[in-house]
Structure formats: structure tokens, C-alpha cells
Amino acid sequence: MHRVTLIRGDGIGPEITAATLRVIEAAGALIEWDEQLGGVAALNEAGTPLPDATVASIRETRAALKGPLTTPVGTGFRSVNVALRREFDLYANVRPAATILPGGRYDGVDIVLIRENTEGLYVGHEMVIPVAGDPKAVAQATAIVTRAGCERIARFAFDYAIRHGRRKVTICHKANILKASSGLFLEVTRDVSERYHGRIEVNDVIIDAAAMKLVLDPSQFDVIVTTNMFGDILSDQIAGLIGGLGLAPGANVGDRAALFEAVHGSAPDIAGKGVANPSALILAACLLLDHLGEAAAAACVRQALVTVLRDDGVRTRDLKGHATTVEFTDAVVRRLA
């Protein structure tokens, strides 16, 4: 029996989390859920978006499944996602994207993007000089890139490629312009790649060229490793190649814990309407099952999901279907019976 922290989330989070729990149970995975609060629900009940009890639970279980959380724009509300990454040093963001639905713009897409999750511009070291509202004010942001941070994400990417039978790792960077920060990332990642010589093919591509190449021919990519902001942008682009964020799971992995989630947001505009697509969170739960050593259950869930979407044609409206969240979940559960 595995013990895992569960955060249902905001907006559509509770709906797609309920669907995901049904699917995991139907697959026969033995998980004891320790349910905790996060986001707006936690703010309303506990006065903070990230209660100490939630942090303590993850510290104990070392694994969490999280529904999407809302971070209101323009307030002092702390991003729970960022706070959790910092609290548990979840330095590797893993976002796989594989073609599920046929007949799209591309067939056979199978890319894993591995993004450094704790450094770069997203550390949030910003200031406005001298003060906001001054016509001569200057906004300044500082990117933090460390040799240690670059080395560990590079090792993670190449180890992931070896462990999952991948053939190539592409380093995406902007070292031609950002010679210090992106230059260090490229230098260190190239050095790490030498340890895998003869086992994994490696190349490097400037980030804007990589974005173009992904659109022209995504088959030339296998595993991509890149920095925080570039990875954030490219992962959404890659999700677009397979039908959108509704099919995009993510994992945030560190040495002390791992957190699994759907890539998309809380979609408050459709919350409570019963039309949300739970596929991304179900696929994130598959990543969780893999992490827990429940690979057989994960494979069964993935196959059931693919069969429902491809063969049964049961799809939610974001995938041009008419099924409700419950109807879609019922179809997946039936395939697992």
C-alpha cells in the first residue's frame, strides 16, 4: 500500500480529481490518500494557500497528486506551485507529450521535455527603478543559473533517456545571445553528455530554431532538456502538437519528493459544469504510478484512455466531443473492468 498526498485543487480541480481517483481505483492500484488543502480552498479555510499540514504530509509521503490551483493575477497571493517546488527542491519538471488522437496535424509525436524547475528568470528577482509610475522607471529581472543546477538537470535528462530507452537528448539554449547564463547551461550540459557518449545521441539547438523545428517536423526530437522559462514555453507548444493541454501531464521531481499534476490551469469558467477533460490528470496519475513502481497499473490506465479516445470515440468537448466528465470517466472505467 502506497501513501500519497492528495490536493484536489481549485476550479475544475475537484471534478477531474474525482474522475482520476475512480480510474486509479479501477486499475487496482493500492494507494492510501492523505487529503490536504492547497490554493483558494486552503486560503478560505486555513488562511493560507499552502498550510503547514500540507507541507508536512508531502514531507512524510514524498509523493503528491495535485489538481490545478488558482493564482489570482495582481495580488499578493503566493503561487503554491512555485512554493512547493522551492520547499522540496523539485528541480526537474518532466512533461511527456505523445500522439493519442489520429488525424491531427502530426502523427507519431513522442517527445519528453525536461525543464530545470528552480532557477533562471523564474526565481523572481525583479525590481523597478526608481519607483512604479515614474516615466523614467526601469524594470530589471535577474536570472540565476548555477553550475550545480545545470549539472543535476543534465544528469537527470540523460539518466531519464537511458532508463526509458530513448535515443537522443537535445539541449535547447540561447547561448549565442545570453552568453553568461545560457552559455553556462550549454557548457555544463555538453560536459555531462560526454559521460553518456556512445549510449545517447546528443545535439544542441538555439531555442527559437527549436520552436520552428518542432512545428516543421517534431519527429526530429526525442528528449529535450532546457532551462526554466524556455521549458515552460516549449512544453505548451509541444502539448499543442498533440491536441492541447487537456492531454498534457507533468511531474515535478526532486531528491526528497515528487509531485504530479495536469499541466493546464484551474479553468474557473467551466468549473461545476461537468464538461472538464480529466485526461491530463489521469495521465499525471500514470506518471505517479510509474514512480511508485506500479508500472503495470499505469500501462493499463494509459491503454484504457487511448482506447476510449481512439476506438470508442468518447471525448470531452475540448477534443471536439460531447461527453461529460462523468461519461468520459465511466468509459475509461469500463475499459479497465
Residues labelled catalytic: 122, 174, 208, 232, 236
Angle of helix 52-61 relative to helix 80-88, nearest 10 degrees? 50
The SS3 assignment for 159 reads helix
CA dihedral 250, 267, 23, 36 (to 10 degrees): 80
Cβ atoms within 10 Å, residue 128: 12
The C-alpha cell that represents 271 in the structure block: 468549473
In this structure, are strands 92-98 and 249-253 parallel, antiparallel, or unpaired? antiparallel
Give the residue among 240, 210, 254 at the shortest CA–CA distance from 117.
254
Handedness of CA 52, 57, 63, 64 (dihedral sign): negative
Alpha carbon of residue 13 to chain centroid? 15
| 199: Cβ contacts below 8 Å, ≥ 6 apart | 162
Give the residue among 75, 28, 78 at the shortest CA–CA distance from 54.
78
List phi, psi (to 5°) of 130. -85, -45
Query: How large is the greatest C-alpha to C-alpha distance in the chain, in angstroms?
Result: 66
